[in-house]
Amino acid sequence: MMDPKIQLAIQNAIELYAESKSLNAKAINDELVKVFSSEEDFVSKVELLDEVFDSYPQLEELREVFFDLLLMNFFSADVIKLEEDYLESPEWEQIEEDTLDRGTELLNVLLYLNECHDEEIEPELEDFLKEFLLVEEDEFQDEYRIYEDMIANQILMESSTEEIAKVAASVDEESELKELFYPVMCFFYDPQPSTDVKKSIAQNAVNKDFDLSVFSILETFNQP
């Protein structure tokens, strides 16, 4: 099974990314949809996903972002076919343990956007940090450490894409948010961007293909 919103997110991201790399976006999209919609279990789907990315080394920097999407699809579509308490089962705990080093922090933003949709609220950076990640709570200091650059730069929401790009360039290379900082902050800067804002995001992108692909995923998830 496949969540229609995730299918659209994949299509949009691959079209954007493949355009400048002379890749066949339709062929890649078809392969990915086949993986996501297959009847295999989650572990098998991860292996199939990796096979697709192994076939297209030009897409490598999107591999872990697509792992996030595969996990989101599992939560929204695949889990319906399983037992009600599957996500509390020893089997799922083992899968989580085995895939601890997979995926990115984009997963948290996607989960947050689903929550915004359910609660019919507009996504905001402060709400994401304080109410969703609970970065101000003592027991969530790991999240505080990971998201420190976003926490420290919330003023960028009143600034511009140019300023977001400047700060993005200064984020520590070791940070788990290094690659994601620009597209995620641009999304929170304007979750419903006009054509002009999108043009500005593209012009100031730090890593254009990656940034625009991630931004398009967030934009797709934010659609009603």
CB 223: neighbour CB atoms within 10 A? 11
Question: What tokens were used for 62?
Answer: 């999107």
CA distance 3 to 8: 9
pTM to 2 decimal places: 0.95
Measured torsion, CA atoms of residues 192, 220, 133, 100, in degrees rounded to the nearest 10: -150
Measured torsion, CA atoms of residues 152, 157, 160, 164, in degrees rounded to the nearest 10: 30
Question: What tokens were used for 41?
Answer: 């279990």
In this structure, are residues 148 and 223 in contact, taking their beta carbons and an 8 Å threshold?
no
Q: Which residue has the higher pLDDT, 221 or 79?
A: 221
Q: Which helix H or strand E contains 106, and what residues bound it? A: helix 106-119
Q: Which residue has the higher pLDDT, 80 or 203?
A: 203
Q: What is the chain's Cα-based Rg?
A: 17
Q: Closest Cα to residue 109, out of 61, 160, 176, 174?
A: 176
Question: What tokens were used for 206?
Answer: 């730090």
Greatest CA separation for the chain: 49
| Mean local confidence (pLDDT), 170-194 | 97
| Mean local confidence (pLDDT), 32-60 | 96
| Mean local confidence (pLDDT), 183-210 | 97
CA distance 199 to 124: 21
CB 136: neighbour CB atoms within 10 A? 13
User: In which band, very low, low, confident or very high, does the pLDDT at 216 lie, cut at 50, 70 and 90?
Assistant: very high
Inform me whether the pLDDT recorded for 85 exceeds 90.
no
